[in-house]
Amino acid sequence: MESFKHFLLAEGRGKMTASGVAGEDHLKKYVTPHLGSKEFTHTLATEHEDLPAGSHVKLKSVERINGKIHVNAEDQTGNHQLIPISKLHKPGEAPPNKGHDYESKFVDRLKHHGIMPHHLAGAGSTDGTDFAIENKQKKKIHPGTVSGSLLNGETKDGVTAAMGQLTIHHNKEKGWHVSDAARAKRPKYAKSIEKSGVLDHMNAWHHNPEKSETTASGRAKTIELDHPNLDPAESYLQDHGVHVLQVGGYGTYRVGKKDETEHGLPNISGSGVWRIREKQKGNKFARTVAFHPAGKKGLNKSKYDLDKDEDLFNFKKTLGHKD
């Protein structure tokens, strides 16, 4: 009997089709066998709402909308999406997650130059961040072979991915609000949501969730609200214990008022947008509040970029590393 992995590699051949004879064939071969799986079996081929291409999903159930086959899917953040199968790769050897590929290459680059200790793994350093930076100018001593101050870093491959996410809830007593549990987990980001006017807008214009305007699938329509700066993203990163942010194509930034690297890294700046969408189809009383830079021009480029050799070598010297 062929292994599941062999089946996936053999069967992965591009995107699926959502209608017609081919759609029914793809439903039978590539969707139905994976319904209810505990694993992330499918990869998004093109962006869907605020979920970027390359994201992995689990398939829960199937719906037909206007003659097209859709799946109720769970993404890696635990949110539920209704996605036409034409936006999904057939299960198998789909192109790698671009964001994860960028992260892996950046981690390898830092390790190659000795800035990140070799025994640490990406997304496995303190607070679950993507990479670590060893600042040898600091005198703090850590267990094992690492000396100096270990700083946490986060990578983003461009500005498509969310830079903040939290679920708000609605009840008769409080209307739309941030729960105590969510506030305890993401205190700075929760405060940004409360200060921004997002809750005021939701309570003024969407105070009756059951009467929300919906899409053809029955899901509440996504609400977008402009924001004049990127402070909420900064708050979210601080909640995650991040000191340095690396954005592909945009450069390297500090997080927080103090540049812990002492290299002169700037804070992120620009403009943003809130995207408020139904967390799980059918539950009109919970919405995910995600924050993004406002498109490609929503994030101002940094004057430093660790993807560039000269900037990396100068950064390395600042940290007290020898060539």
pLDDT, tens digit, for every residue of 305-314?
Answer: 999 999 999 9
Q: Domain count for the chain, please give it.
A: 2
Strands of the chain (E only): list them: 42-43, 56-65, 68-75, 80-84, 131-135, 149-156, 165-171, 175-177, 223-227, 244-247, 251-254, 272-278, 286-293
Element (H, E) at 278: strand 272-278
Residue where a domain stops, chosen among 53, 87, 121: 87
The residue among 298, 284, 272 whose CA lies nearest residue 213 is: 284
Instruction: For 216, list phi and psi in degrees, rounded to 5.
Output: -60, -25
SS3 content of the chain, % helix, strand, coil (to 5): 30, 25, 45
Helix, strand, or coil here: 131?
A: strand
Looking at residue 32, what is its pLDDT? 94
Q: Are residues 233 and 300 in the same domain?
A: yes
What is the 8-class DSSP label of residue 234?
Answer: H
Domain of 64, CATH number, reads 2.30.30
Q: Does residue 94 fall inside a structural domain?
A: no
Sign of CA dihedral 138, 140, 142, 144: positive
Looking at residue 8, what is its pLDDT? 43
Q: Which regions in the chain score pLDDT beneath 50?
A: 1-12, 124-127, 141-147
Instruction: For 225, list phi and psi in degrees, rounded to 5.
Output: -130, 130
Sign of CA dihedral 6, 9, 13, 14: positive
Rounded Cα gap, residues 271 and 141, in angstroms: 39
Question: CB-side exposure of 38: number of CA atoms within 13 Å?
Answer: 0
CB atoms within 10 A of CB 239: 19
Environment class of 204 (CB within 10 Å of its CB; exposed 0-12, middle 13-18, buried 19+): exposed
- Edge-to-edge order in the sheet of strand 165-171: 175-177, 165-171, 286-293, 272-278, 223-227
79 is in which domain, residue-wise?
Answer: 4-87
Residue 72, both tokens: 């109720």
What is the 8-class DSSP label of residue 71?
Answer: E
Q: Does residue 219 fall inside a structural domain?
A: yes
Distance from chain centroid for Cα 147: 31
Q: Are residues 83 and 108 in the same domain?
A: no
Looking at residue 2, what is its pLDDT? 44
Rounded Cα gap, residues 213 and 206, in angstroms: 9
Residue where a domain stops, chosen among 23, 58, 87: 87
The residue among 43, 109, 124, 30 whose CA lies nearest residue 69 is: 30
Rounded Cα gap, residues 159 and 174, in angstroms: 34
Looking at residue 12, what is its pLDDT? 44
pLDDT in tens, 246-267: 999 999 999 999 999 999 999 9
CA–CA distances in Å: residue 190 to residues 20, 84, 161, 232: 45, 32, 19, 9
Residue where a domain stops, chosen among 64, 87, 110: 87
Q: Are residues 77 and 116 in the same domain?
A: no
Question: CB-side exposure of 139: number of CA atoms within 13 Å?
Answer: 0
Residue 132, both tokens: 């670590």
Q: Does residue 116 fall inside a structural domain?
A: yes
Residue 314, both tokens: 């100068």
Rounded Cα gap, residues 200 and 315, in angstroms: 43
Q: Does residue 93 fall inside a structural domain?
A: no
Q: Are residues 117 and 187 in the same domain?
A: yes
Tell the residue number behind the tokens 């607070």, with chain if given.
127
